Copies of this chain bind each other. A is one copy, B any other.
């Protein structure tokens, strides 16, 4: 039935890349098309609107990152190791992008979510959903750590909420100061919030 194309995938990748390193409002449909090497007509063949593309791009990004997240947060791994490993990966990823683009780019979901939360209900809801997916990993890890007596928290869900907010906050701070070094505070902040029992180095 008709011809096939990878234009859709190229548009998703271009959109993620450009919006992540700039902002939703700072990137035009034309910019995305040029980067993807696709005509605007094709853009609107695959996506009804710019915001629909953004939503699809974030969904695609998640699907790509999901296996790595599943591995990091595998229940085979000790719960605190999962969290520490995750912190390390965030720091490495941001440091790498900082080297590549000259900027700390922060969390792609939170970036657009914060920008458009009061303007585009669909994007706001999608952002919330994306962040919630990450939250569930954290929550499970913290609940496991709690069960194993590794940390000192009363309510695992509440603690997970605090932890995820702090990670978001540190990413924003690092972006605004454009300093990936701030992200070395990720792990200590998290451990402090969890009242983690100290492990001798």
| Least Cβ–Cβ distance between A151 and chain B, in angstroms | 12
The CA-CA distance from A166 to B176 in the complex, in Å, is 14
| Least Cβ–Cβ distance between A85 and chain B, in angstroms | 20
- Asked if A165 is an interface residue, CB under 8 A from chain B, the answer is yes
The CA-CA distance from A170 to B114 in the complex, in Å, is 12
The answer to whether A172 and B166 have CB atoms under 8 Å apart is no
The answer to whether A101 and B118 have CB atoms under 8 Å apart is yes
Q: Among the listed B23, B127, B170, B188, which residue makes an inter-chain contact with A115, where contact means beta carbons less than 8 Å apart?
A: B23
- Asked if A124 is an interface residue, CB under 8 A from chain B, the answer is yes
A7-45 interface mask toward B, CB cutoff 8 Å, 1 = contact, 0 = none?
000000000000001111110000000000000000000
Task: Sort A-B residue pairs by CB-CB distance and give the 6 closest, nearest first.
Answer: A169-B169, A25-B25, A165-B169, A168-B169, A103-B118, A113-B176
